[in-house]
Structure 1
Amino acid sequence: MTTTMRTFATRKHGNESVVHDPLTGLTHHAGLTLDSGRVRLPGTDVASWTEIHPAAVQTDVPISVCWSPLVRCNLTCPYCLDDKSILELGRAERYRIANLLAESTVLGVDISGGEPLLLRDLPELVDVLVAGGCAVSVTTNGTHLARRAEALATRVDAVRVSLDGPDAEHHDRWRGAGSFDHAIAGIRAAITQGIPTQIQAVLLRSTALAGIRAMVDLAATLGVSGVTFLQMLPIGEGTALAGTEQLTDDEALALLAELSTTAAVPVRLRTREAAGGFTVIRADGQIWRNQPSAHAISSLRALSTASDLALTTRDGSA
């Protein structure tokens, strides 16, 4: 069996190391000491190491963050988490944010949006983060991925493509006509360019029962590295759907229990509980953090220096 080497970011933690996986967004205890920074490791080895919640790691800054440098998007997903009322920073300010993240001890940065592939300078922003030792992923709706995969291939460590269904009939209902075919073309292009690629799907009550097995089968057919199902968060525009479309964590875990042992590709669930405490940097440069169980998100402060990423302020509050 061929061993697939991928790029991860590590940090020493006592006598062991913690490892951030840019493909899955998970944090692992290595059980041994590794060099800090960006390292190449067998993906199967990392997957076998103990998964831990980042909050369990004693650290001054988050293990990973989501950076949404733009609000603009070519699609209108009804459960979007972003606040579309905020103003986007300009090019110079985007580079300032990228450099602050690179200077920090954050291990992983997931560039999201809006739709990050609408940024012409996305490859250069990734370069800044990689030079600082971060493992970098891009979360995209995939519609522009086919034309940009080649430029990202030598830079980004992973791509996560969002799908709302295993076919055009189900996906395009939420994202618009033609969006499924564009996303699939993007996934194929990313895989051809050698970018570790995974599918992400938000669990909705109206689609979960019929679509999760077919989604995993599609992932296996495409040759992606796995599927992550995300619990819908009642944040942003998603608040309007929470009453009808939101599954409890227990319901979601029950739906995926069989898949976790029979799927042809790795399958995981990000529960709302697991999303609690996650740090988001929005397009206006403000730092936000999910409240426990991710039932809401709170604005903390502007990102002016790397120390602003601290998990607690001087008075001890988050």
Structure 2
Amino acid sequence: MITSTATTGRASARRRVGCGTRGGTGVVYDPLTGLTHRTGEPTLTGRATLANESIAALPEVHPGGLGDVMPVSVCWSPIVRCNLACPHCLDDKSVPELGRGGRAEVAARIAASGVLGVDVSGGEPLLIRDLPTLLDVLVDGGCAVSVTTNGTHLPRRAEALARRVDAIRVSLDGPDPQRHDRWRGEGSFAKAVSGIRAALAHGIPTQIQAVLMRSTAAGLPALVELADRLGVHGVTVLQYLPFGEGASLANVEQVPDEEALDLVGALGPAPVPVRLRTRADAAGFTVVRADGQVWRNAPDSTAIAALRPLTGPVSLAVTGRDGSA
């Protein structure tokens, strides 16, 4: 993970994180960035509130390097439906969705598993009517919770989310309507920006996430400038992964890791924290699908290494020599 960080007024803010012990050492999971930090001393599992600068001062660690069979965090995609049709979507739209009762069972199992953090994604999770109830279950289980969204429904749901989530991650593919709407549809940029403003107005730590593509790379400096104007807490640039519906574009749109590192490095001392999630950072990441099945990224993040039903904590454990479930 390469980071370009500036000192701004955002640095003094305090945020909720997930704390626990993995491999005999204390770790902090940051729901805003999805990063895991090492504290060194074993610590009790639960949620805590830390200052931004305290979180940033802790050394980052890849969860796979902690020597523990249990993941630090998971991504839960309880829905594959979406109000947008992005051609680079990582989701497999053929996956069946569980009903309300099934979603509640999955939430309870994740909450009881001991993971420190959960990012609720999709599809578009804000389309789920019972989302507040699901989030309450996760928070009551001690998880630090974020929601990744296209932002279009945030204006009407931000108030309810503010009482439940620890962070919001909004997906943007460009710094203006012309470049963003090319990928996500007419009017989606204006709605996403309105959603970001609503989340910030309700005090939710918010960051922008952008999938790095050849078609969008040139807009990265302007996107960082937009993030500064909006007042978000940072930007995470995600390396393109050849999953889901976006697999067909991978050969055309993927940017080599070396080039991606150069692009982010060229931003210099950006006005907001900017992070690049490389493919190596995504290796071994655990996902709970909309049908309750668990899968894990392969070590090279080019394929899915495992798929099995979530029946309890053991379903999330890493058991294979290659880091698979």
Is 1:214 the counterpart of 2:222 in the alignment? yes
Is 1:157 the counterpart of 2:179 in the alignment? no
Quote the Cα distance in structure 1 between the aligned partners of 2:155 and 2:234.
19
Shift of residue 94 of structure 1? 0.4
Cα distance change, pair 15–313 in 1 and its aligned pair in 2 (3 A): closer
Identify the residue that residue 240 of structure 2 maps to in structure 1. Answer: 232
SS in 2 for 1:263: coil
Unaligned runs of 5+ in 2: 1-8
Unaligned runs of 5+ in 1: none
Contact map agreement 2:73 2:115 (CA 8 A) in 1: yes
Is 1:73 the counterpart of 2:53 in the alignment? no
Cα distance change, pair 34–5 in 1 and its aligned pair in 2 (3 A): farther
Amino acid corresponding to residue 312 of structure 1 in structure 2? T
Identify the residue that residue 308 of structure 1 maps to in structure 2. Answer: 315
Identify the residue that residue 274 of structure 1 maps to in structure 2. Answer: 281
Structure with bigger RCO (C-alpha 8 Å, 6+ apart): 2
The alignment covers a number of residue pairs equal to 315
Identify the residue that residue 259 of structure 2 maps to in structure 1. Answer: 251
Instruction: Name which of 110, 115, 118 aligns with 2:124.
Output: 115
Shift of residue 237 of structure 1? 1.6
Quote the Cα distance in structure 2 between the aligned partners of 1:15 and 1:122.
34
Identify the residue that residue 40 of structure 1 maps to in structure 2. Answer: 49
Shift of residue 13 of structure 1? 4.5
Contact map agreement 2:293 2:309 (CA 8 A) in 1: yes
Quote the Cα distance in structure 1 between the aligned partners of 2:130 and 2:324.
36
Amino acid corresponding to residue 109 of structure 2 in structure 1? L
Quote the Cα distance in structure 2 between the aligned partners of 1:136 and 1:99.
14
Instruction: Name which of 279, 285, 294 aligns with 2:292.
Output: 285
Quote the Cα distance in structure 1 between the aligned partners of 2:169 and 2:177.
19
Instruction: Name which of 95, 99, 124 aligns with 1:90.
Output: 99
Contact map agreement 1:88 1:284 (CA 8 A) in 2: yes
Contact map agreement 2:240 2:254 (CA 8 A) in 1: yes
CA RMSD after TM alignment: 1.6
Cα distance change, pair 317–152 in 1 and its aligned pair in 2 (3 A): closer
SS in 2 for 1:114: coil
Shift of residue 180 of structure 1? 0.2
SS in 2 for 1:28: strand
Cα distance change, pair 123–249 in 1 and its aligned pair in 2 (3 A): same
Quote the Cα distance in structure 1 between the aligned partners of 2:260 and 2:76.
27
Please give the per-residue CA displacement for 1:56-101, whole angstroms capped at 9, x wherever unaligned. 1122311111100011000111111111111100101101000001
Identify the residue that residue 203 of structure 2 maps to in structure 1. Answer: 194
Contact map agreement 2:16 2:50 (CA 8 A) in 1: yes
Please list, as runs of the form range in 1=range in 2, the aligned pairs for 1:117-156 lying within 5 A after superposition.
Answer: 117-156=126-165
SS in 1 for 2:183: helix
Contact map agreement 1:286 1:299 (CA 8 A) in 2: no
Cα distance change, pair 317–66 in 1 and its aligned pair in 2 (3 A): closer
Instruction: Name which of 279, 284, 303 aligns with 1:296.
Output: 303
Cα distance change, pair 317–27 in 1 and its aligned pair in 2 (3 A): closer
Identify the residue that residue 29 of structure 2 maps to in structure 1. Answer: 20
SS in 1 for 2:90: coil
SS in 1 for 2:300: helix
Shift of residue 12 of structure 1? 2.7
Shift of residue 299 of structure 1? 3.8
Quote the Cα distance in structure 2 between the aligned partners of 1:317 and 1:156.
29
Cα distance change, pair 178–64 in 1 and its aligned pair in 2 (3 A): same
Quote the Cα distance in structure 1 between the aligned partners of 2:84 and 2:295.
23
Quote the Cα distance in structure 1 between the aligned partners of 2:167 and 2:68.
24
Amino acid corresponding to residue 43 of structure 1 in structure 2? N
Please give the per-residue CA displacement for 1:293-312, whole angstroms capped at 9, x wherever unaligned. 21111342111222211111
Quote the Cα distance in structure 2 between the aligned partners of 1:77 and 1:317.
29
Shift of residue 35 of structure 1? 4.0
Given the two structures, how large is their TM-score scaled by the length of structure 2?
0.93
Quote the Cα distance in structure 2 between the aligned partners of 1:243 and 1:60.
33
Ranges of 4+ aligned residues in structure 1 off by more than 3 Å = 13-16, 31-35
Cα distance change, pair 13–312 in 1 and its aligned pair in 2 (3 A): closer
Quote the Cα distance in structure 2 between the aligned partners of 1:242 and 1:167.
24
Percent identical across equivalent pairs? 62
Contact map agreement 1:172 1:179 (CA 8 A) in 2: yes
SS in 1 for 2:81: coil
Quote the Cα distance in structure 2 between the aligned partners of 1:185 and 1:16.
41
Given the two structures, how large is their TM-score scaled by the length of structure 1?
0.95
